[in-house]
Chains A and B, each alone.
Chain A
């Protein structure tokens, strides 16, 4: 924490209160405070720093040091609205200053032009909410560039023939090529495909106050101890603090947005660490609490004017949840890769990003990456070939042989939006604060599973072409666990079919804005954070414009 942070009184009406300090909230706080506004960021989790980010896989992963805690915040799951949901851990997100961007893999693909207009191109898909965005790739391009330069993304412009147009190259070269990347690149080229250096939100060159990646190997699931991973914590939050106008208030769990008699938001009510309730007053509220907690907060904020949840006359708050489809194949090679060294991903390919549904028989597209992202205990528990012994001499031998010789191929793809897939309030289960718990309802569209199967078949072809000594895949099944939380307060021009407009303003409460994974209209091809951050830069720009023109409080 920096000493420049102001301490605003809760009774003092600041310009903006931002709920959440993750990928979107961090950037919005930075942009608004840099433009002269007084901002309070309310973050439900603690303020940890690099010194807290150890390599202890039990403490970090098992004790949920960085993430939502299943005991404090239990949730329920069901496949369809007809079922009664049962308690089951169904989602994980970062619960600390910096949010999920602290522990993510840092794959930073832009969406392509097609992602914004695919409904117009392909026509409707029955039983889905498949639709175009109210903005285009061209609208978002300058903000993608801002993310790359201001937050810090390494990559190589022009390396992929499928890349969308860009106004500037990456600010720094790609990270080193791992052995898994070399194997992947050579094999994919044999097959006539176009592997390229993965764009990653990890520094390949140092920046002030931040080291370049030291290839420590504890990346996915862990916080970066040298600030090389471009989390909001390492980048946007620090910039916001430097303005002297932004207060980051951790351990502040917002549970209600209050409205006045005129239907205007007056601030955010939250529990502090001692579970005392406060109301932070503000002229306007931005919710960036993630694709699960943002809709939950709106539903928790139901009142006389909005009995079904704040800004929810459309009934779509929490609906159209998309998780991204995917698959994992694993290959074992003759010589050591030592892929446990370094960040997760160094090569990807986008040859199957856009496919013709008439030709392949299903809607969708995606990418495939080469990676290794497993810690030693996790590898011993789940990384050996199916049917391997789980103890004894052969277990030890397989573990010792395979650990340095294994890589994964991960496929990532589209999810179709369906109204029945959602986050809602569980009618029975409560969290540790006595608030209704999240209930997740999710059943993949059949095309999502077909796509995952298709991409995984290509991944297996790559492993064959690479001469893997052994290969297998994890089964492709309907998803019951969410990491990417997308689409639950979708953007659109029609208040009947969307929750926010193209300025991220809720259709119904003029000084309430939403920006995070919930804003997405389509799922993209599997790596949403880059787009969430570009949307956050753009949203801040739009909000600033509205505020300067006096249109927020008018």
Chain B
């Protein structure tokens, strides 16, 4: 539907494509992934990984940190996105294990191919990392040789990209990063009730008046 297709894109794209595969299984596991991510982000040294090896986790942390980088504000790293994904891959996102396993190898091969001195994505500079990721991004000008673990599957890079967005922006009080890093970055307050005025443009709004009445009031 003009409206429905666009509404779907705008409202439900997260449902139908962004997260469908990932979250179609078990909700409690998602909550557990979120709390795992929180604990991990708070005490990285003592964190136990469920799926990734420490080396793999370092790679995924580096990739997600280029998708939502840390600059003046926190990014994927501070939100513990890698731990969220790690936990998910052993609970409700089992189907994506292969994509990650094979994709990481491909990512390292591409890294070596583009920068002969490097064997690991995480060892590259941020500029080099972006160049490597662009080569996987089918939508980007430099994109090439899309990685396809199996026919009709999403690419590894697109899978990580979408998972990063979900882990970063899911409601912190309903299964997302409990520290609410993502919501802080986009400026969404965490309260569950609000009072007007809500923003800049309604701050001095006097309330609805019939047309022309404010002009009359002035004269």
Contact = CB atoms under 8 A, between A and B. Distances in A.
Contacts of B71: 393, 396
A323 B174 contact: no
B186 A403 contact: yes
Interface residues of A, number: 84
Interface stretch (A113-121, A210-218, A254-262): A210-218
A216 B171 contact: no
A479 B5 contact: yes
Contact of B137 (A181, A183, A391): A391
Contacts of B17: 381
B182 interface: yes
Contacts of A177: 196, 202, 205, 207-208
A382 B13 contact: yes
Contacts of B185: 396, 399-400
Interface magnitude class on chain B: 35 or more
Given A336-B187, A374-B10, A324 B3 contact: yes
A380 B165 contact: yes
Nearest to A448: B2
Interface string B170-191: 1101110000001101111100
Interface in B1-57: 1-20, 23-24, 27, 30
Contact of B13 (A181, A185, A381): A381
Contacts of A56: 170-171, 174-175
A150 interface: no
B124 interface: no
Nearest to A175: B196
A282 B30 CA distance: 45
Interface in A173-227: 174, 176-179, 181-183, 185, 189, 194, 196-197, 214-217, 220-221
Given A328-B6, A378-B12, A55 B171 contact: yes
Interface stretch (A11-19, A129-137, A470-478): A470-478
Nearest to B16: A89
Nearest to B71: A393
Nearest to A476: B2
Given A217-B194, A335-B200, A483 B4 contact: yes
Given A63-B23, A216-B192, A383-B10, A326 B2 contact: yes
Given A197-B208, A383-B10, A393 B194 contact: no
Chain A contact residues: helix, strand, loop or mixed:
loop
A427 interface: no
Nearest to B27: A59
A400 B73 contact: yes
A320 to B, nearest CB: 17
A308 interface: no
Nearest to B75: A396
A375 B4 contact: no
A482 interface: yes
A123 B130 CA distance: 62
B175 A342 contact: no
Contacts of A373: 11
B199 A338 contact: yes
Contacts of A375: 11, 14
Interface string A378-418: 11111100000011110110011001100010101000000
A325 interface: yes
Contacts of B174: 54-57, 59
A182 B202 contact: yes
Given A336-B187, A378-B13, A404 B199 contact: yes
Interface of A: 54-59, 61-64, 89, 156, 159, 174, 176-179, 181-183, 185, 189, 194, 196-197, 214-217, 220-221, 323-328, 333, 335-342, 373-383, 390-393, 395-396, 399-400, 403-404, 408, 410, 412, 444, 449, 452, 474-483
8 nearest CB pairs, A to B: A479-B1, A481-B4, A474-B6, A335-B200, A326-B3, A56-B174, A179-B199, A214-B193
